[in-house]
Chains A and B, each alone.
Chain A
Amino acid sequence: MDLPTVWFVAIAVLWTGYFVLEGFDFGVGMLLPVLGRGREAEADRRVVINAIGPVWDGNEVWLITAIGAMFAAFPAWYAATLSGFYLPVLLIIVALIGRGVAFEYRGKVAPRSDSEAEIKAAARWRARWDAAIVFGSAAPAFVWGLLFANIVRGVELGPDGVVRSGLLDLLNPYALVGGLATLTLFVLHGAVFLALKTDGPVRRRARTAARTTAPVAAAALFAFLMWTQADHGSVATAVLAAGAVAALLSGTALLTRRREGWAFLATAVAVAATTAVLFVALFPAVLPSLLDPAFDLTVANASSAPYTLTILSVIGAVFLPLVVLYQSWSYWVFRRRVTRAHVS
């Protein structure tokens, strides 16, 4: 494999890491009002948020690293994609800002006295941040699918490397199905994660949510992957797509049998395989042009020079395993299930 191809794979790995790890963060965020309701709503919401509390920030860095790696290894890809998808990217950034602040700030205002006004003010404060968490999780979960579908499908990319697709061009049916697929897949992934990481009522409700979401997620993912296969497929994408759908279905089945660890592994495989389908379907282009294949940005014409890629390879080979190691350790430290007793 030549260096640009190695870096294409490396960037695919970073995005896969991001979607597997933030996929359940987004799911958890979207499920917050669904799982934390009833008389003990506040306690249950804190259980939900604490399940990802120590790790969500580290998970998000996979995105920052993937974007940084695109900038370093394929500057033309980075520049064309972010300027070409201007408004959707803006929406994602705003969502991530709101969500990040919400996780940190929602619990920071407690009533200072027993007065009704103070209690109400604290409740209003939390309700606002909860809305930010739901929006901040749902918007990226949908828009990332929409964007990657458009990247695979191609955009109005001219010979100057400038994307001229309008917002309406990006909202084509294929991309909308892609957005729906990632949205529902992440809800399911998050529900399975919460079933694994919590106990008590939240765990029960998470299992129900997973069972309810599974048919929708399976249908959306199946439709999206079939469509991808029809337009951009190869033998490799067919195998990966079959693997993704099979993993999603078996994950749901395993959850019904209370094998939550295995179920989570299965939905993680479904997310990873779906990401792999998209990158394999894309290769060797990184951003195909709808106008003329000669205008395609490819692994070959968008990459940095060999010297830069060599440096990045050495540093990546040393530090990425180290990152995986200490992040795994942090998951190990917080391996216990979160319950109401932990948040009171």
Chain B
Amino acid sequence: MDALDLARWQFGITTIYHFLFVPLTIGLSVVVASLQTAWHRTGRPEYLRATKFFGKLFLINFAMGVVTGIVQEFQFGMNWSSYSTFVGDVFGAPLALEALLAFFLESTFIGLWIFGWDRLPRRVHLATIWAAAIGSNLSAFFILAANAWMRHPVGFAVDPANGRAYLTDIVAVLTNPQALSTYVHVVSASFVVAGLFVVAVSAYKLLHRERTPHPDEPGMFRRTLRAGLMTTAVAGAVVALSGDHQAKLMAEYEPMKLASAEAIWDSEGAAGFSLFAIGDHEIGEVGVGRNIIDVEVPYVLSFLATGSPAGEVEGINDLQQRYSTQFGPGDYTPNIPVLYWSFRLMIGLGMAGVGVGVLGLWLTRRGALPQQRWMYRVAIVALPAALAANIFGWVLTEMGRQPWTVVGQLLTAASVSPGVSLAEVAFSLTVFTVLYGVLAVVEARLLLRYVKAGPGHVMPYPGEGEPESDRIPAFIY
């Protein structure tokens, strides 16, 4: 164990943790804004109640997304100072843009939305949640452009005097094909998570109908269930299409990642999509391996990667040889079992989640509600499946880039802070892991508490014969 390993673990843990909350924020901000728009348009109190109920859950999650994001802004400099010095000229720009264009928008307008219910005209108040939602979705674009640059660096040159990268074309960085494709994939996957979150909450409330304190609630959750299912199904289609596009980009720009994710050892045409493989990559010299067991669907991989069933897909052994010639001796293979299985888990769990969405839409057609209790339970389980699919997708993306931090330019081993000791990284890793662990438990329990308490707890139902008040109570801490 050295500081490099721990710094990698720390970045992995803190980023995965951050990304448990982020997709929900990205998607749910738009869901809540849409619910409030529906209330604004129709004036029906059930939409207002749904806005406030899901708004409360959104805010509980939002807080965690914000605080876990703070760490990331500092971590590049703390643990990866050599990397930061090398890429700062290029990488810093999207980060600064993100803060200036998106974070300010999101944080200022979320404050106005939370506290502005009885201070702002209705129309202006509705605009504040949309501004916050736009801020959330915009910040994703900038950070994904920065990340995509690491996987497919464009619009830069390296200064021979100091050996650092410098920016030559900001438009190229912001329109990087990897950035645009990743953005569509990540944001649509976030909407799948948000859709399934709404589905899971609604299904839970419908499943426990007998505990419902008010007769209006089943009607309300029937509507949000449908809306959540619809969101999931539509976003799921976009996820699949953009995922296909991502695979083609991967074949073009990151062939080693694709080869590892598919356990293709030797370059071949008409390659099949592997369903189950057990490989031996310890034999002989570095990067020479083979599969012991491999079950595959013929032609599918070649078709996915190149658009032609006979297309050539490069293999790990050949790539390793090519890179050794190009960059000098070394091991250029990522962790193949991790890549292989995270690819399968991402697709499997993601499709299962979207499948629940599509199935649910069919079962609830024409306002019907399924009678079997297990169907609600399946709908609830779809949420963690989708969250896990998001995480596995990022594990695939990030660990597939190894051993590089900037593909072809900077090795991970050359990226860490030379002045930071093993003890310091071990300490911060422990602190973050423990702190995050505690906060995750607190957040989960708080969400559950609010889901159980239901919408009446957030916005009380009017008593018998009492007219609904026009004055809307403000959210207060």
Contacts and interface: CB of A to CB of B under 8 A. Distances in A.
Contacts of A172: none
A307 B85 contact: no
B147 to A, nearest CB: 15
Interface in A295-344: 304-305, 307-308, 311-312, 315-316, 319-320, 323, 326-327, 330, 333-334, 342-343
Interface string A78-118: 11111110110110011011101101111111001000000
B167 A308 contact: yes
Nearest to A60: B107
B424 A87 contact: yes
B442 A307 contact: no
Nearest to B63: A104
A273 B202 CA distance: 54
Contacts of A278: none
A69 B87 CA distance: 14
Interface residues of B, number: 71
A59 B109 CA distance: 12
Interface in B134-151: none
B167 A71 contact: no
Contacts of A86: 78, 420, 424, 428
Contacts, number: 226
B477 A49 contact: yes
Nearest to A49: B477
B115 A160 contact: no
A68 B428 contact: no
B367 interface: no
A79 B84 contact: yes
Nearest to B164: A75
B431 A333 contact: no
A51 to B, nearest CB: 11
B77 A78 contact: yes
B60 to A, nearest CB: 7
B74 interface: yes
A323 B100 contact: yes
Given A304-B88, A304-B166, A319 B101 contact: yes
B111 A61 contact: no
A53 B449 contact: no
Interface in B250-288: none
A315 B101 CA distance: 9
A222 to B, nearest CB: 32
Nearest to B114: A54
A142 B208 CA distance: 50
Interface in B212-261: none
Interface string B78-122: 110110110111111101111111011101111110111001100
Give the contact-size bracket for chain A: 35 or more
Contacts of A183: none
B64 interface: yes
Main secondary structure of the interface of B (DSSP, over half): helix
A87 B430 CA distance: 13
B417 A94 contact: no
A162 interface: yes
Contacts of A98: 435
Interface string B51-88: 00000000110111011101101101111011011011
Contacts of B168: 307
Given A50-B477, A163-B419, A305 B78 contact: no
A73 interface: yes
A58 B89 contact: no
Contacts of B159: 305
B82 A79 contact: yes
A94 B63 contact: no
B431 to A, nearest CB: 6
A285 B105 CA distance: 33
Contacts of A82: 74, 76-78, 81, 84
Contact of B477 (A53, A307, A311): A53
Nearest to B83: A79
A109 B449 contact: yes
Most chain A CB within 10 A, of B90, B108, B442, is at: B108
A101 B63 contact: yes
Most chain B CB within 10 A, of A46, A65, A94, A343, is at: A65
A37 to B, nearest CB: 18
Contacts of B363: none
A164 B97 contact: no
A81 B104 CA distance: 24
Contacts of A162: 81, 417-419
Given A101-B67, A305-B166, A68 B95 contact: yes
B100 A54 contact: no
Contacts of B74: 67, 82, 89, 93
B477 A161 contact: no
Contacts of A101: 63-64, 67, 439, 442
A330 B96 contact: no
Contacts of B62: 104
A71 B419 contact: no
A311 B93 contact: yes
Given A76-B85, A97-B70, A100-B63, A90 B431 contact: yes
A216 interface: no
Contacts of A87: 424, 427
B170 interface: yes
B73 A67 contact: yes
Contacts of A69: 92, 96, 99
A169 interface: no
A51 B104 CA distance: 19
B343 to A, nearest CB: 32
Contact of A75 (B92, B111, B420): B92
Given A73-B92, A104-B60, A107-B476, A97 B112 contact: no
Interface in B297-314: none
B402 to A, nearest CB: 22
Most chain A CB within 10 A, of B78, B164, B420, B427, is at: B78
Nearest to A162: B419
A108 B60 contact: yes
Interface string B183-224: 000000000000000000000000000000000000000000
B378 interface: no
Contacts of B115: 50, 53-54, 334
A65 B139 CA distance: 13
A127 interface: no
B476 to A, nearest CB: 6
Contacts of B108: 55, 57-58, 61, 323, 326-327, 330
28 contacts: A49-B477, A50-B477, A55-B108, A57-B107, A58-B108, A60-B107, A61-B103, A64-B70, A67-B74, A68-B73, A68-B92, A68-B98, A75-B87, A75-B92, A78-B77, A83-B420, A86-B420, A87-B424, A89-B78, A101-B63, A107-B477, A162-B418, A163-B419, A164-B419, A304-B92, A308-B92, A308-B167, A312-B93
Closest 10 CB pairs of A and B: A75-B88, A82-B77, A72-B92, A104-B63, A79-B81, A71-B92, A54-B111, A83-B417, A58-B108, A79-B84
Given A101-B67, A326-B109, A333-B116, 19 more contacts: A46-B477, A50-B476, A54-B116, A57-B110, A65-B104, A76-B88, A79-B88, A86-B78, A93-B70, A96-B67, A100-B70, A104-B62, A105-B63, A107-B476, A112-B453, A161-B85, A305-B167, A308-B92, A343-B476
